[in-house]
Chain A
């Protein structure tokens, strides 16, 4: 069991030192609501990094090829494409707005020159194709260079059009729109390992889609009670197994995870496995259920483990053991005594995400005050780092932070009462292979790398 609190030691294997690499986004104090980043995701190779924001926009960054003449700009990420994925809509039936906020982005594995990703808001999922164009054809027979049609009588000879290079243009086009299948708010999408299907989950239902088919989806989980007055539990996250295309998990607001096998039946209302840690009766309070609600669930790359994030901790589960997690890491246990205030200001409902590194040896999740935490599963060490403009000189090492739970505050420690609960790091992503991480701090995207020796 990993211990609580920050040990000031670098995490991520082999005494890694994390350094600032880049920061994207506006500097001013006044943050426009639409610019708040709501999702971050690397693609399968790590060359592309996508962000979605509350304004419904997607920005994709591409890693520069390593350049021998500039060895220090080790794969910087620069803007590759920006597009408006979702627009605000109005639901006339309920007289309610449908937010354009991008809840999740998931990349598809690359199969040809173009890149594909799924992006979703509360109600509609879209498949986007991002393709490059660096040539154009010249010398058409039927139209001239302006595009005007040539008079057929004037065409006396035929020529073959020639491809000429042009400035690189990156185009994003919506290829599929998967709509009208969710009554409640979509919280998760997950691409299947068969590369043909994907699932989408809302508060009460999970649907399975085929990427080519937009006018129907299969409902595979439905926990809506016949009488809505009996509703006491909702789905909070769902993910397909990275290797077994028939297996998926979904987490609930009661702190449980159900693993389902789609081969068992068309409607997976009976789970194959049920993961729940028995409650510790000595720490029971009126807030117990709220803080046990799982905000994110992620399979390890190996498919052997899964990780769940609840309000105060991250737990690693072995899929073969349902009775309790194999590891529990405290993220910010010092908040346990503040739950009343955090309930009052709604912070207790913040949905933090978590992620694995490539080899599954380390995990990362966010906290408040722009802090984020990393846990090394092998060395059992953990570290608290901060995403701030103050430590944003190129290749500046990040200094570990410490929060003082109470009582005497040591030098360089921050007291719990000084934490800024408006600066929350909900979304983080880890490069699939390298030690490069992307951390979303409100409207800024920070990229950190390990120190290059």
Chain B
């Protein structure tokens, strides 16, 4: 397995946006069912201009996809469709690699921090923009991972709501995260993708319920037949949108305080 340096090189090599010409020859475009070299663990590229092996191509696609998933530090919410499509691509590659036996699961987490640490890093990177919203610790993560959980202390959640610029302050942690990205690539942590949407379910789900007004034990998508489906969506309507924002704010602060 190539080390982090070559993974970086492959990813870096693909990253020039002006380079429209596909790095990988057209005939070898990851088509399944095409005859390909037996994966033998030898990843030497056979001469600089020659076609990289299928495995190398697949690996670089996986690496590129992981980078894409993790670089979602934006001020605006990342595009969900794009994230889902990339995550599905990663899953497909992982499945195929598992079938090939190319997917090496890391040793069981006896050593404690290792793989979990990487899982957490991935989550953190994708949550960076929303991590201010109530530092509810995920219940299944051991509590002694303060480093990975990063700078924002729970107490700052409240202040973040009031300071529009707080999200910018956390950008400073980004360069550190790059190391975490490549750590992840190196160890091939299983399904970092699983962590991607995990947190979106947690606090989001409650906020979701609040914002769309569908609270009160609604049993989920299928259960809303009849009158429940006609439940009013949207917070109770104050006259000005300013009042509405403050109303939501109060509601949210209540939730944060209660949990």
Contacts and interface: CB of A to CB of B under 8 A. Distances in A.
The 4 closest A-B pairs by CB, nearest first: A228-B201, A337-B26, A216-B232, A180-B234
A207 B155 CA distance: 37
A231 B84 contact: yes
Nearest to B86: A290
A232 B84 contact: yes
B80 A417 contact: no
A286 B65 CA distance: 11
A269 B221 contact: yes
Range of interface residues on A (Cβ < 8 Å) = 35 or more
Contacts of B80: 184-185, 203-204, 234
B159 to A, nearest CB: 11
Contacts of A233: 84
Contacts of A285: 29-32
B82 to A, nearest CB: 5
Contact of B249 (A92, A185, A219, A283): A92
Interface stretch (B113-121, B140-148, B222-230): B222-230
A344 B23 CA distance: 11
A340 B24 contact: yes
Contacts of B214: 219
Interface string A320-359: 0000000000000000011111011110010000000000
B43 interface: no
Contact of B30 (A179, A181, A287, A421): A287
A233 B133 CA distance: 26
A286 B30 contact: yes
Contacts of B26: 337-338
B227 to A, nearest CB: 8
Interface in B148-175: 160-162, 164, 166-167
Contacts of A96: 75-77, 129-130, 167
11 contacts: A93-B207, A96-B130, A218-B233, A219-B233, A224-B221, A229-B197, A286-B30, A337-B26, A340-B30, A341-B21, A416-B20
B77 A185 contact: yes
Interface string A97-117: 111000000000000000000
A289 B85 contact: yes
Given A180-B212, A417-B21, A293 B230 contact: no
A453 interface: no
A232 B89 CA distance: 10
Given A96-B129, A228-B201, A341 B20 contact: yes
Contact of B201 (A185, A223, A227, A286): A227
A219 B58 CA distance: 41
A95 B132 contact: yes
B17 interface: yes
B237 A215 contact: yes
Contact of B17 (A215, A220, A345): A345
B232 to A, nearest CB: 4
Contact of A95 (B23, B166, B208): B166
Contact of A93 (B75, B133, B197, B226): B133
A222 interface: yes
Interface string B175-210: 000000000000000000010111011001101100
Contacts of B162: 92
B25 to A, nearest CB: 9
Contacts of A343: 61, 64
Contacts of A92: 161-162, 245, 249, 252
B99 interface: no
Interface of B: 14-15, 17, 19-24, 26, 29-33, 58, 61, 64, 68, 75-77, 79-82, 84-85, 87-89, 92-93, 129-130, 132-133, 160-162, 164, 166-167, 194, 196-198, 200-201, 204-205, 207-208, 211-214, 220-222, 224-226, 229-230, 232-237, 241, 244-245, 248-249, 252
Contact of A183 (B89, B160, B211): B211
A281 B34 CA distance: 11
Contacts of A265: 225
Which label, helix, strand, loop or mixed, suits the secondary structure of the B interface? helix
In the complex, which of the residues A92, A232, A283 has the most CB atoms of chain B within 10 Å of its own CB atom?
Answer: A92
Given A96-B129, A293-B85, A337-B26, A286 B241 contact: no
Given A92-B249, A97-B75, A229-B194, A337 B226 contact: no
Contacts of A231: 84, 197, 200
A119 interface: no
A289 B161 contact: no
A239 to B, nearest CB: 17
A43 interface: no
A347 B258 CA distance: 44
Interface string A397-433: 0000000000000000000110101000000000000
Contacts of B201: 227-229
Nearest to A216: B232
Contacts of B252: 92-93
Nearest to A202: B80
A234 B81 contact: yes
A226 interface: yes
A223 B221 contact: yes
Contacts of A282: 33
A220 to B, nearest CB: 8
A122 B197 CA distance: 20
A177 interface: yes
Nearest to A282: B33
A150 B236 CA distance: 43
A120 interface: no
A286 B92 contact: yes
Interface string A130-143: 00000000000000
B171 to A, nearest CB: 12
Interface in A208-264: 214-220, 222-224, 226-229, 231-234, 236, 253
A94 B204 CA distance: 9
A222 B221 contact: yes
Given A218-B229, A265-B225, A181 B234 contact: yes
Nearest to A178: B234
A267 interface: yes
A62 to B, nearest CB: 31
Contacts of A234: 80-81, 84
A338 B25 CA distance: 9
A324 to B, nearest CB: 22
Given A228-B198, A286-B61, A214 B237 contact: yes
